[in-house]
Amino acid sequence: MDVNTELILIRITGLDRPGLTASFTEILSGYDVTIMDIGQANIHSTLSLGILFKSLKSDSGNILKELLFKDNEEEWSKFYMGDDGGFTMYIDTVAGKYAKNSCMPEDERFDMNGKTVREMFKHIQDLYGEVPEVVSDESNS
């Protein structure tokens, strides 16, 4: 096997729905992937699906992220607030960087340089002009 590729086995188990297997293989079709083996069983409306595929190492993280969140897109969008920059921000302590959110390109991530979280957050709010209006509980009484 090429050193730039890797084998990945995913196993999906849960309530079966029409088009579920197709939605997972559709994600794989968007990448340079070779499906090596696939097995599927449906027992009393419970799906057990396994897909063994070969992909480029550089793509494997994105593939797994898409597969992981495919079935949870509605739930994810209901709770994810990371794009606003007003209430949340992204901090990568390993790389020592912070940004408005985790999807920001490298040139829009900033060095922590010993800043406090408040200093970093204020920088994000100043940069993107998104300072939320905070409503106190006292105004509701």
Number of independent structural domains in the chain: 2
Q: What mean pLDDT is reported for the chain? A: 80
- Whether residue 136 is contained in a domain is answered as no
pTM check: above 0.75? no
Tokens standing for residue 138 = 């006292």
pLDDT in tens, 5-56: 999 999 888 878 778 788 888 889 999 999 999 999 988 888 888 999 999 9
Determine the average pLDDT of the residues in 98-112: 87
Q: Would the pLDDT of 77 be above 70?
A: no
Looking at the fold, whether 15 and 59 belong to one and the same domain comes out as: yes
User: Domain range for residue 123?
Assistant: 90-128
Q: What is the CA radius of gyration of the chain?
A: 21
- Whether residue 139 is contained in a domain is answered as no
Measure the CA–CA gap between 64 and 134, rounded to whole angstroms.
Answer: 37
Q: Would the pLDDT of 130 be above 50?
A: yes
Looking at the fold, whether 58 and 105 belong to one and the same domain comes out as: no
Looking at the fold, whether 43 and 9 belong to one and the same domain comes out as: yes
Neighbours of 26 (CB within 10 A): 12
Measure the CA–CA gap between 72 and 11, rounded to whole angstroms.
Answer: 16
Looking at the fold, whether 73 and 20 belong to one and the same domain comes out as: yes
Alpha helices in 3-116 (DSSP H): 20-29, 57-70, 73-79
Q: Is 2 helix (H, G, I), strand (E, B) or coil?
A: coil
- Whether residue 84 is contained in a domain is answered as no
- Whether residue 83 is contained in a domain is answered as no
Q: In what order do the strands lie in the sheet with 5-15?
A: 5-15, 46-56, 34-43
Tokens standing for residue 2 = 């090429």
